[in-house]
Structure 1
Amino acid sequence: MQYKEWRAAFDHAVTLPDAKINLAQAALLIAADEYPELDISFWLARLDNMADELRSRFPAQRDAQTVIPILNTYLFDELEFHGNLAEYYDPRNSYLNDVLERRTGLPITLSVIVLALAQRLRLPIYGVGLPGHFMVKWRDAENEIVFDPFNGGEILDRRGIEARVRASSNPILPFQSDWLEAVSTKYILFRMLQNLKQIFVRAEELQRAWQVVDKILLLDPRAGDEIRDFGLLSLRLGANRQAAISLEQYLLSHPDAADADLMRVYLRRALEQVERLN
Structure 2
Amino acid sequence: MKKNRIKALINLLDDPDTLVFETVEKELLKENHTIIPALEKKWENSYDETCQERIENLIQNLQFKKTRTLLKEWITTEEQDLLEGFLAVDRFQYPDINQMVIFQKVEKIKNTVWLELNDSLTLLEKITILNHFLFNIHGFSINHKNIHSPQNCYLNQLLDTKRGNPVSLSLFYTILARKLGLPAYFVDFPKNPLIAIVHRDLAKRVHGKNTLSDVLFYINPSNKGSIASRKEVGYHLKKNNYSPQERFAEPQPDSLFLQRLLESLQYSFQEVGFSEKKDRVHELLKLFAKR
- How does the TM-score come out when normalised to structure 2? 0.68
For these two proteins, the number of residue pairs brought into alignment is 216
**How far apart, in 2, do the equivalents of 1:221 and 1:3 lie?**
18
Q: What is the CA deviation profile of residues 76-111 of structure 1, one whole-angstrom value per residue up to 9, with x for unaligned ones?
A: 110011112221111111111111211111111111
Is 1:108–1:135's contact at 8 Å kept on the other side of the alignment?
no
SS at match of 2:115: helix
Q: Does 1:153 align with 2:252?
A: no
In structure 2, the CA distance between the partners of 1:90 and 1:158, relative to structure 1 (3 Å rule), is same
1:195-214 paired onto structure 2 within 5 Å: 195-214=264-283
> Equivalent residue of 1:57, what SS?
coil
TM-score with structure 1 setting the length: 0.70
* Cα distance between partner residues in 2 of 1:152 and 1:121: 18
Would you say the 8 A contact 1:108–1:133 is kept in 2?
yes
Residue in structure 1 matching 2:193, options 125, 131, 134 = 134
Residue identity matched to 1:57:
E
The 1:165–1:83 alpha-carbon spacing in structure 2 relative to 1, beyond 3 Å, is: farther
Q: How far 1:190 sits from its partner (Å)? A: 0.7
Post-superposition Cα deviations, 1:186-217, rounded to whole Å, max 9, x if no partner, equal: 00011111111122234442221122112112
For the pair 1:67 / 2:126, whether they are aligned, the reply is yes
The answer as to 2:181 corresponding to 1:112 is no
SS at match of 1:198: helix
CA offsets per residue over residues 27-83 of structure 1, 9 Å max, x none?
A: 121121211221122112211222222222101235212201110111011001111
Q: Which residue of 2 aligns with 1:48?
A: 107
- Please say which of residues 196-205 and 72-81 is displaced more in the overlay: 196-205
Q: 5+ unaligned residues in a row in structure 2: which ranges? A: 1-32, 34-62, 204-215
Q: Is the 8 A contact 1:197 1:209 kept in 2?
A: yes
Rounded Cα–Cα distance in structure 1 between residues aligned with 2:237 and 2:167: 14
Contact 2:148 2:271 in 1 (8 A): no
Equivalent in the alignment of 1:123: 182
SS of residue paired to 2:74: helix
TM-superposed CA distance for 1:164, in Å, is: 7.4
Q: Tell me the residue number matched to 1:7.
A: 68
Sequence identity percentage = 22
Structure 1, unpaired ranges of 5+: 223-278
Q: Please tell me whether residue 185 in structure 1 is matched to residue 254 in structure 2.
A: yes
RMSD: 2.3
Q: 1:172 to 1:118 in 2, by over 3 A?
A: closer
Matches within 5 A, 1:196-275: 196-221=265-290
Distance 1:198 1:159 in 2: 32
Task: Tell me the equivalent position of 2:263.
Answer: 194
In structure 2, C-alpha distance between the alignment counterparts of 1:160 and 1:217, rounded to whole Å: 35
Runs of 4 or more consecutive aligned structure 1 residues displaced over 4 Å after TM superposition? 162-166
CA contact (8 A) 1:146 1:157 kept: yes
Q: 1:175 to 1:66 in 2, by over 3 A?
A: farther
